[in-house]
Amino acid sequence: MSEDIIIEVRGIKTAFGSHVIHDGLDLKVRRGEVLGLVGGSGTGKSVLMNTIIGLKRPDAGEIFFNGQRLNSMSSEQRRALESSWGVLFQNGALFSSLTVRENVMAPLREHLKMPRRLMVEIADMKIALSGLGQEAGPKYPSELSGGMKKRAGLARALALDPEILFLDEPTAGLDPIGAAAFDMLIKDLSETLGLTVFMVTHDLDSLYSICDRVAVLADKRVAAVAPIKELEQHSHPWIQEYFHGPRGRIAASVQGG
């Protein structure tokens, strides 16, 4: 795995009023890896992702993309950066008044100038890439199952051919078969398209099956970041309980651990 760092988080502090979520948090994401982010309830997994992509401003610390400080970028640089990543929020976060095709076209409209015909072609290609049939394009989110909504959200995240894919609990709410299929889709896309994937998850099966490394949030910081086999030997109490509890043992046995 390359040591080329695509995202670096330095000394991040985030708080809601007097309630401090992260304090002095550091994390490096390597180019081309699938990095899983885990932690107990209230450790701020989604908050960290939202901070990295600029939806929440940190109270202290810095975030770098390809060595460039996020807060020092011009509006043009920031816009170019945002077009280089795709984000899949929990539950897909689709626009309910737009069809699947129109949802996927939304980032194209925002960032690019091109004929509508070409946008439709690109949207249909991304829909197919996400594992949905062509019949999904004209449907509205209310007509989709939970798994189809996830895939439609993924198609939209892929619309601009991103370099980085941010996923927030991508398999939450899916049955085991659907979750496993979605994991394999992410793995295949990351390998085929050369994506860097930052994935917030609590799904142990996802961690074992597709993650190159896993970062653990605990004590308001990243307590550890390593391949799972190394984390299994870590002495931190939460890490021990998480990976060696009943669900952890099952996930490890399924993957031949």
3-class secondary structure, 232 = coil
pLDDT by residue (tens digit) across 73-91? 998 999 899 999 999 988 7
3 pLDDT band, cuts 50/70/90, is confident
- Amino acid at residue number 213: R
Domains and CATH numbers, the chain: 5-84+163-254 (3.40.50.300), 94-161 (no CATH)
Give ∠ CA 28-29-30 in degrees, rounded to 5. Answer: 115
1 pLDDT band, cuts 50/70/90, is very low
Least confident of 1-5, 167-171, 191-195, 246-250: 246-250
Q: What is the pTM of this model?
A: 0.91
